[in-house]
Chain A
Amino acid sequence: MWLPILGLITGILIGSMFTFTIPIVYAKYLSVGVLAALDSLLGSVKALLEDSFDSTVLISGFFANILLAAALAFMGDRLGLDLYMAAVVALGIRLFSNLGAIRRDLMEMHHNKKALKKAGEVNHEAQQ
């Protein structure tokens, strides 16, 4: 449970230790990449809650999404199309739907737990 959060903090700390920045022209691609990474992570959390988690899917999707989003933005720049915006919009929508699913799953689980507890008590009383 806490290991992913530890990973995030470690990543931020390591990133803060470097003073190196990428050229401003590539900042746009990296930003789309970050968005894709965030989407992948939320998707993995959702999968975890819904018990369909697969680490191979996560790792491959994580890198593939980052590369694809960045490549899309790059290609858009070369073609004079705002494909960058397409990636942002698509990822944004997915981000919100994932977030919504996570929220609902959590609520449902919470509800489920409560109901199970209640049922257990009822059962206990009936047995007595």
Chain B
Amino acid sequence: MKHNSSLHSITKIYLPRHKRQLKPFSQKTWTGSMFITFLIFGLLLTLQYRTQVAAENSLANQKQEDLVAILKNLDANKASLEAELESLQNTKKSLEAKAEAGISLNNSLQKQIRQYQIANGNVDIGGPGVSITITADSNIMSYDLIDLVNELWISGAEAVAINDIRMLDTTTIEQTEDKNNNVVLTVDGQVLLSPIIITAIGDSATLEKGLTFPGGIIDNLNTLYQVYPQIKKSDSIFIPMATNIKVNQYVK
């Protein structure tokens, strides 16, 4: 009994100071409610932590020096981007100028090609000019035709054709005899049938004057050979594409 009383006295001394009657509490009740409250506390804690981090990272909470640094950085960025923009615009301008130059070069080349095509007789051409008609009863020689064509060239003709055969750099005008021994005129080997019509494109007034001035070729033909070519000015002379083009074999 003595020992028991000593144990009792010790436990009495070291009992919690509020000296409540220890009653076994239900494990289930306290863990359940503690679990729920701790869980909610954890949720609130992380939510608040994240909100605080977001707030600290927002511009409004940055230090003044940091903000100044950020601003400077952005200004520098802006300046470099503006410089880049300017250089890109300059590049664009120069490229546009180049494109324009390319277009104009293309246009001039096209014109040149057209010029060469006209000169070589590769295309049908038309324009103002004159047509000279020499009827079948005329006693005309190949020299007269050559003189006429020459005179037209001299008067500024840009294209000349006889019976729709274009005068090219290789064109020949000859006088030969056919199978029946009749004298015939040929242009590039093609026999000319009457009436011979010479068409020329150029300034019609100048061309006419060049042919008909006193002592000129028509005057000579009239007076010396009694050939009376009829000259007609026209606004729309048509000369078809040449069929007598010779292909170069030796010119390189």
User: Which A residues between 29 and 72 are near B, CB-CB below 8 angstroms?
Assistant: 30-31, 33-34, 37-38, 40-41, 44, 48-53, 55, 58-59, 62, 66
Which stretch of A74-82, A83-91, A92-100, A115-123 is in the interface?
A: A115-123
Q: How far is the CB of A29 from chain B (nearest CB, A)?
A: 10
Quick check: B15 and A112 within 8 Å, CB to CB? yes
Q: Does B11 contact A (CB under 8 A)?
A: yes
CA of A105 to CA of B20, assembled, Å:
13
Q: Does B30 contact A (CB under 8 A)?
A: yes
Quick check: B40 and A62 within 8 Å, CB to CB? yes
CA of A10 to CA of B35, assembled, Å:
10
Given the contacts A44-B37, A59-B33, A119-B7, A8 and B42 also touching, CB distance less than 8 Å: yes
- Name the B residues within 8 Å of A9 (CB-CB): 42
Interface residue range, chain B: 35 or more
Quick check: B35 and A3 within 8 Å, CB to CB? yes
Quick check: B25 and A4 within 8 Å, CB to CB? no
- Name the A residues within 8 Å of B29 (CB-CB): 55
- Name the A residues within 8 Å of B47 (CB-CB): 15, 18, 21-22, 30
Given the contacts A16-B46, A59-B33, A105-B16, A11 and B40 also touching, CB distance less than 8 Å: yes
CA of A105 to CA of B4, assembled, Å:
26
B53 closest partner in A (C-beta): A21
Quick check: B3 and A41 within 8 Å, CB to CB? no
- Name the A residues within 8 Å of B15 (CB-CB): 112
Show 8 A/B contacts (Cβ-Cβ < 8 Å), sorted by A: A7-B37, A15-B47, A21-B50, A41-B37, A52-B20, A108-B14, A111-B14, A115-B13
8 smallest beta-carbon distances between A and B, as pairs: A11-B42, A15-B46, A55-B33, A7-B38, A7-B35, A112-B14, A11-B39, A4-B34
Residues of chain A touching chain B, judged by Cβ–Cβ distance below 8 Å, are 3-16, 18, 21-22, 24, 27, 30-31, 33-34, 37-38, 40-41, 44, 48-53, 55, 58-59, 62, 66, 105, 108-109, 111-112, 115-116, 118-120, 122-123, 126-127
Known: A15-B50, A18-B47, A30-B44. 8 other contacts (CB 8 A): A3-B35, A15-B46, A34-B45, A37-B41, A55-B33, A66-B44, A112-B15, A119-B7
